[in-house]
Homo-oligomer: A and B are copies of this chain.
């Protein structure tokens, strides 16, 4: 029998962690604003009184977390974590957890419907212009699966943006990133896939413009069901997301 727990484990974070935490605190609580320069490594050495190696380890942590970046000249400054970078972390996690396309499909059905509802309600003229521009570019590349898949991904990002809800925008992204590569495969394999995809986008923009919620939801559902039907022609919905998809995510993260 173990003794009754009398003490909690004490917290002795290593120095590099403390450095990272200290800088993170300043950024998160707003004393350092996005864009503000953090000093040079040498500055930080002086301020924290630790070795440059230690500082550098701390910096790596923050850089990976997206809280600081190095600009063109490699100087450090604070920045707002980019959704797409965070989302690709999540996508990676989903791959490692071997989620199935069925889970992806189900969750996306919810998330994309919520996006379109928000977009129908609150899209601005500028949002609609962006969507229209995207549609024009999609129509131009309807015969090119890779380019069309990219346009499709962008289209749905724009819809989410038009919803003016950043929580939703962020929540849908990881699943959407995993969809992207399959879209290319489907458009390649299913002859009428490309035109149907573009037609759905047209109807969605139209629904947003007319503030027609029913139509928006309907066409989002159809659009996703199209994806599903196409997917089931080439693979099983219960298969787990494959490792190959990570290439895309990795490339995207680097940007």
Give A contacts to B, CB under 8 Å: 11, 16, 21, 24, 27-30, 34, 53, 56-57, 60-61, 63-66, 80-81, 83, 86, 89-90, 92-97, 99, 103-104, 106-108, 110-111, 114, 118, 164-168, 170-172, 174-175, 243, 246, 250, 254
Q: How far is the CB of A77 from chain B (nearest CB, A)?
A: 14
Are B61 and A166 within 8 A (Cβ)? no
A166 to B101, CA, bound (A): 11
Q: How far is the CB of A176 from chain B (nearest CB, A)?
A: 11
Q: How far is the CB of A209 from chain B (nearest CB, A)?
A: 22
**B-chain residues with CB within 8 Å of residue A86 when the two chains form the complex:** 89-90, 93
Tell which of B27, B34, B114, B164 touches A110, judged by Cβ atoms closer than 8 Å.
Answer: B114
**B-chain residues with CB within 8 Å of residue A90 when the two chains form the complex:** 86, 90, 170
Secondary structure dominating the interface of A: helix
**B-chain residues with CB within 8 Å of residue A168 when the two chains form the complex:** 103, 106-107, 110
Tell which of B28, B57, B171, B254 touches A56, judged by Cβ atoms closer than 8 Å.
Answer: B57
Copies in the complex: 2
**B-chain residues with CB within 8 Å of residue A92 when the two chains form the complex:** 28, 65, 81
**B-chain residues with CB within 8 Å of residue A254 when the two chains form the complex:** 11
Tell which of B61, B66, B175 touches A167, judged by Cβ atoms closer than 8 Å.
Answer: B175
**B-chain residues with CB within 8 Å of residue A108 when the two chains form the complex:** 167
Tell which of B21, B30, B57, B83 touches A243, judged by Cβ atoms closer than 8 Å.
Answer: B30
Are B174 and A103 within 8 A (Cβ)? no
28 residue pairs A–B, Cβ–Cβ below 8 Å: A16-B60, A28-B92, A28-B95, A29-B246, A34-B96, A57-B57, A60-B60, A64-B65, A65-B89, A80-B96, A80-B97, A81-B96, A86-B90, A90-B90, A90-B170, A94-B166, A94-B167, A103-B166, A103-B167, A106-B114, A106-B118, A107-B114, A107-B165, A107-B171, A110-B114, A111-B171, A167-B174, A171-B171
